[in-house]
Each structure stands twice: as structure tokens, then as C-alpha cells.
Amino acid sequence: MKVYAGNFLKDVVAKLLDDGYRVYAPVKEKNYHVFKAVENADEVDFDYINTKKSPKDVTFPENEVLIKYGEWVEEIPAQADKTAIVGIRPCDIQGLRLMDRVFLEDITDPYYEAKRKNLLVVGYACNEAGDYCFCTSVGLSPFKSNYADIIVTDLGDKQVVEIQSEKGEVVASKFNLSDASDEDISRKKELEQKVLSSFVRSVNTENLKERMAEVFNSDYWKEVAENCVSCGTCTYLCPTCFCFDIFDDGELKGVRIRAWDSCQFPLHTLESSSHNPRREKWQRLRNRFYDKFYYMLVRKGEFYCVGCGRCIAGCPVGIDIAEVINNIPSEVKQ
């Protein structure tokens, strides 16, 4: 464990920009923060709990050209510049890991792979839980993630720098780091205790799969969906929602684009035969909860929820994933 006497995160942004990286870092806009490609380290502001949107668009952009067509098809080479995300929270690092599992396992998605291979991940341990945070309920830690190349903990006057990969080592070697003292280590531990005690929300995941299997056909899901407007804000903000649509833009020549889609939209699954497997909004909303805590658990062996709480913060009608899961009835109401 190393320490840096100063603001490592800010200095690493400057260094990476000098080295020709495209750097995504948190920028303050109005009263919130978002990840943006920055040109100067002074644009960056690390005083935030988490960003309004997850940085999933760094490897999976909202819109992306797959091929061009005209006389025939032109392949768009899957390539990417050296890119870094600096200041990503542990929940979003888990989001990135879960996205990697979707796009890189089985058949490799070449567009995603190109961006991912060239990505450096500098994580930022949390100093405080947000109002909607519940990462500890889904098995995550707010100050650790082995999946980052480097993870930084802010102690106020200095920052603890944990180097977790060769890629991270190469970058960290350009900084004047010293070994963490016993005092630094105990200050970090104290901070972690403080963070853990700042959580106000939790989700009961005990036997969740079995409990969800029991109540699949319960009217509970209709009640939960009563006020849902199928706007798709939840899936848009979710760091692990990966569904996309593909469409052609241009009649004789043009581009084939993929763009984020949402299982909350009725057209997502509508077939040309007029058959729609999830015609009703309560079926679509139920699908989101089951996908996060049941279907993806069956497919990948882990929850596809990282506990960031963005879907709670963003929902215009107050649907709260933590409450919805906690209130699953123990008996099937018909």
C-alpha cells in the first residue's frame, strides 16, 4: 500500500492527458457530477458521492456505428484510443466487470473489446454512502474493487494508492509514492468503518432467488407497477443494463447503428406478428427486477445490481428497487 502526498486523482488526470490518454473524469454540472472526457485537470472535481450517470458509455456508447453501407458494406474497424476513467466508484467498477461479462464472454463483441482493452481504470474509494446506496447488500465493498488497475482512498491531506495491475503499475511508477505508514493504514481503516456506518439502506438478499420464484405470478408486481410510466430512466441510468437496438440510418447509403434500448419500452419485444411477450407494463417492470436478481444470477452466477441506487434517485414516480425487493410477499397473493 502506497501513499501520495497530495491529490493523486487530479495529478493522474494531468499526467494521463500529457501522455495522450482520453480521460473521463467527474465534472460538476449544476448541482450534480457526470463523467466527461476532459481536456484539462482543472475541469475535474472529485468532491462528490457518485455521478448522476454511470460511466458505462465509455465502453458502450449510447449510439455507435457498426457498419457503413452503400454500394456494399464498409467495415468500421473496431479500435480505440488509449482511454482512462479516473474517479470511478467501486459499484461502477463492478458495473464495468458485469458489462465485460456480457460483451466479452461467449461470442466477443469486437467494438466493446477494442475500447475495453485500451482502458485504464483508476477507482476512487467512497468516503460516505449516498442516500440511495446499498452496495454492501449485494456483496460489494464501498472502498475496494480488485477489478480496478489502481484504487485511491482520500485521507484528506494525502491519498492512499493501491496498485492492482501491471497497467496500474506503469502509471503509478511515474509518481512519487511512499510506503503507507501504520498510521496511514489505521486512518484508512477508521475511514472504512465510518463509511460502513453511513449506509441507511439495505436489501434483504437471503434466499432471494427462491423467494422470487415463489411470487412470480403474484399480483404484487401489478401493485409495484401501478405508477410506473415505462419511461426507461432506470435502465438508462443502470450501470449493468446492456440492452440495445440496431437500426439502419439512410435508405440507399448510410450507417447501421446500435443504440441503448430498454426492456421497459413496449416496442422492445414487439414482434411483427403482433405477438409481444411483455405486453403489459407490470410484466416489463417485473422483468427488470427479475433480470437483476434472478435471470442474470442463473446465467452468470451473480446479481446484476451493484447497489448504486441511481434508479431510485432517477425514478419520476418513486419506485425504489430496495423497497420492492424487501417487500416481496412471503406468500403468493392471488
**Site for another protein, rule CB under 8 A:** 66-67, 69, 72-73, 75, 78, 102-103, 106-107, 109-111, 213, 216-217, 242-248, 250-254, 256, 258, 261, 263, 268-273, 275, 277, 290-291, 294-296, 298-299
Decide: 9 and 123 in contact? Cβ < 8 Å.
Answer: no
Other Cβ atoms within 10 Å of 222 Cβ, number: 14
Q: Which residues contact 213 (CB under 8 A, 6 or more apart)?
A: 294
The distance of closest approach from Cβ of residue 254 to another protein in the complex, given in angstroms and rounded to an integer, is 6
The distance of closest approach from Cβ of residue 82 to another protein in the complex, given in angstroms and rounded to an integer, is 22
Cell of 85: 476513467
Nearer CB in complex with another protein: 31/330: 330
Q: Is 111 exposed, middle or buried (0-12, 13-18, 19+ CB in 10 A)?
A: buried
Nearer CB in complex with another protein: 194/299: 299
Decide: 98 and 25 in contact? Cβ < 8 Å.
Answer: no
Nearer CB in complex with another protein: 173/272: 272
Nearer CB in complex with another protein: 20/267: 267
Nearer CB in complex with another protein: 39/62: 62
The distance of closest approach from Cβ of residue 120 to another protein in the complex, given in angstroms and rounded to an integer, is 24
Nearer CB in complex with another protein: 183/271: 271
Nearer CB in complex with another protein: 66/80: 66
The distance of closest approach from Cβ of residue 290 to another protein in the complex, given in angstroms and rounded to an integer, is 7
Grid cell 450534480 — which residue?
32
> In Å, how far are 67, 68, 72, 286 from 253, measured between CA atoms?
11, 8, 9, 40
**DSSP one-letter string for 234-249:** HHHH-TT---EEEEEE
The distance of closest approach from Cβ of residue 276 to another protein in the complex, given in angstroms and rounded to an integer, is 9
Sequence-separated contacts (24+) of 116-119 with Cβ below 8 Å: 116/59, 117/80, 118/80, 118/81, 118/82, 118/83, 119/58, 119/59, 119/80, 119/83, 119/84, 119/85
The distance of closest approach from Cβ of residue 233 to another protein in the complex, given in angstroms and rounded to an integer, is 18
**DSSP one-letter string for 12-52:** HHHHHHHTT-EEEEEEEETTEEEEEEESSGGG-----S--S
The distance of closest approach from Cβ of residue 56 to another protein in the complex, given in angstroms and rounded to an integer, is 14
